[in-house]
Amino acid sequence: MSWTDERVEILKKMWGEGQSASVIAKELGGVTRNAVIGKVHRLGLSNRAGTTASKPAAKEKPKAEAKPKVEPKPEPKTESATPPATPIPAVRKIIPAGQPLPPQPSANEISPEALAKVNEVEKGAKKLKLMELTERTCKWPIGDPATEDFWFCGLPVQSGKPYCEAHVGVAFQPMSSRRDRRR
């Protein structure tokens, strides 16, 4: 289906009359409601929120005496007794791909023994690529995913976990240490 000049004119006419995108799509045939909406936006047609186009049925009704509309006057603003709303907390900064992550708070709480064990294990890791991983290989990512030097540990996993024993010690913390951190 292509938007011929004739179909565009029908679209403009029906849109101006206040017809819905679904009704216009049915009338044109071979086009969806979303296609009509997309074409309306591309043509820059009004979204009809502020237009006063009347429907044909409204023209047939006899008009009663028009009463002048009286708009309420805005009340002057006064200082309220309630304190201003608390400010919205700052949004976390989005770090672009390939940039190093800032130090994470949990990194400081990992024991030096666990870090030493991880460093030792990573020296003997299998250095697998993503497509080489299985349910039996450690899925601990090592390096920057945006570089060629990125790989996964690949050592045998601990039962029921996605990582080897050394990486489980870093990834999963006992419940008591997490509770202590919150306090």
The predicted pLDDT at position 24 comes to 92
Name the pTM for this structure: 0.37
105, exposed or middle or buried, with CB in 10 Å at 0-12, 13-18, 19+? Answer: exposed
The predicted pLDDT at position 83 comes to 58
| Mean pLDDT computed over 160-171 | 87
State the DSSP string of 166-182. HHHHHH---HHHHHHHH
SS3 136: coil
| Mean pLDDT computed over 58-68 | 55
SS3 126: coil
Q: What is the pLDDT of residues 146-161, one digit of tens each?
A: 888 899 999 999 888 9
Q: What is the pLDDT of residues 104-152, one digit of tens each?
A: 555 456 677 777 788 788 888 888 999 999 999 999 998 888 888 899 9
From its phi and psi, is residue 151 left (phi > 0), alpha (psi between -120 and 50) or beta?
A: beta
Two structure tokens written together for 155: 């050592």
Two structure tokens written together for 102: 């800032």
Task: For the chain, give every domain's residue range.
Answer: 5-56, 107-182
